[in-house]
Every structure is written in structure tokens, then in C-alpha cells.
Amino acid sequence: MKRSLFIASVAAALRIVPAQAETPLERGAYLMKGIVACGNCHTAKGGPMAKHELA
């Protein structure tokens, strides 16, 4: 009984832990290009430069 309860609790705990599917750099690029879209306002006045979008 105790063993099955332990196994069930470990399995439940592993489901709660989020997976690290992306690197911090990928996460930052996703936020700046999509959700936050800082590049819309914080680019040079000459327009966006596709080669240097996060610079």
C-alpha cells in the first residue's frame, strides 16, 4: 500500500514540473518578436533593420 502511494505521488509530482523546452535566448526572442513586440517602438527611426532586430 505504501509503495503504490509513493509511486503515485512521484508520478503526480513529475507531471507538475514544467519542461524546459527552450533556451533563455529562444524565450527572449519569442517575447520580443511576438508578445511584447518591443521592436515595434524601439528601433531606429529609419525603420526596422531585419538583420539586427534584437540589437
Q: Which residues, in sequence order, are CB contacts of 49 under 8 Å at separation 6+? A: 43
More confident residue, 27 or 34: 27
User: How far apart (Å, rounded) are the C-alpha atoms in residues 11 and 4?
Assistant: 10
Cα-Cα-Cα-Cα dihedral sign, residues 41, 48, 33, 51: negative
Stretch 26-49: mean pLDDT: 69
Q: Enumerate the domain spans of the chain.
A: 22-55
Q: Which residue has the higher pLDDT, 55 or 32?
A: 32
Q: What is the pTM of this model?
A: 0.34
Question: pLDDT tens for residues 13-28?
Answer: 766 656 566 788 888 8
